[in-house]
């Protein structure tokens, strides 16, 4: 199962009032494991950078001035995310900006029915308090020391860790499956290690609890069932193992 964890940075909070995308960061997960396959781009918003937004992500108008326009990267972005599930924190914000940009260049919009909103997951699991990305990282013991300012690629990597924790963590105890941390692997090399343990044998077989008379009566009962009776197979196997 392929999922794309996604984050954006913008010039402000209102996609329908002139604010624009300035950064997109995506990380690929296969079976809830990071593959190392990422998509990251800075975007020229074709407008000024409000100081409030600059204080959040540190991306200046000068820095972005020689970066591609959204119309130049729209196809490669859509090709990376394909039709797979998108994992986003507070998805209405990011999808609102992405769809505003896609609509400007006459590209297909992103449907909300393919989105997993980790903010909704966190609220269902933890209630309505303490569900920012920073707070969830602290709750789950995820190291956020690199997060001096917001950055779309770093935040998507951190969100991937939070997402896995919201779903119950990496360790899968049932059936002996353990997912390896494969951050540096490509999608083709992601795998799940399976541990097979042999059942321990008793030093001596447990003696039968049946008396000789009970065993003889059972054998006579099976014999009366005919040549095709399934019980005969088990009786033969039992005789071979003695």
- Active-site positions read 150
DSSP state of 10: E
Between CA 44 and CA 49, with CA 46 as vertex, the angle to 5 degrees is 85
Q: What angle do CA 48, 96, 56 make, to 5 degrees?
A: 45
What is the C-alpha end-to-end distance of the chain, expressed in Å? 48
At residue 21, what are phi and psi to the nearest 5 degrees? -70, 145
**How many residues are present in the chain?**
242
Contact 38, 167 (CB under 8 A): no
- Both tokens of 144, joined, read 């956020």
∠ CA 87-88-94, rounded to 5°: 135
Give the closest residue to 23 by CA, choosing from 44, 52, 4: 44
CA distance 59 to 175: 47
CB 38 within 8 A of CB 68: no
Strand, helix or coil for residue 219 = helix
């Amino acid at each position: 199962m392929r999922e794309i964890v996604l984050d954006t940075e913008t010039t402000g909070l209102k996609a329908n009032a002139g604010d624009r995308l300035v950064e997109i960061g995506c990380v690929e997960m296969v079976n809830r494991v990071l593959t190392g396959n990422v998509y990251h781009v800075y975007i020229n918003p074709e407008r000024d950078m409000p100081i409030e937004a600059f204080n959040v992500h540190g991306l200046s108008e000068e820095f972005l001035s020689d970066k591609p326009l959204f119309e130049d990267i729209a196809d490669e972005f859509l090709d990376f995310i394909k039709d797979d599930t998108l994992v986003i924190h507070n998805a209405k914000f990011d999808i609102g900006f992405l769809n505003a940009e896609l609509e400007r260049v006459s590209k297909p919009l992103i449907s909300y029915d393919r989105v997993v909103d980790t903010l909704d997951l966190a609220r269902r699991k933890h209630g309505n308090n303490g569900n920012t990305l920073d707070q969830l990282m602290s709750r789950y013991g995820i190291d956020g020391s690199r997060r001096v300012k917001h950055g779309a690629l770093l935040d998507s990597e951190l969100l991937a860790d939070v997402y896995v924790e919201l779903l119950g963590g990496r360790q899968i105890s049932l059936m002996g499956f353990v997912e390896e941390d494969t951050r540096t692997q490509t999608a083709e090399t992601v795998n799940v290690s399976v541990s097979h343990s042999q059942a321990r044998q008793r030093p001596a077989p447990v003696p039968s609890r049946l008396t000789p008379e009970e065993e003889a009566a059972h054998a006579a009962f099976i014999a009366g069932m005919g040549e095709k009776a399934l019980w005969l197979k088990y009786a033969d196997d039992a005789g071979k193992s003695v």
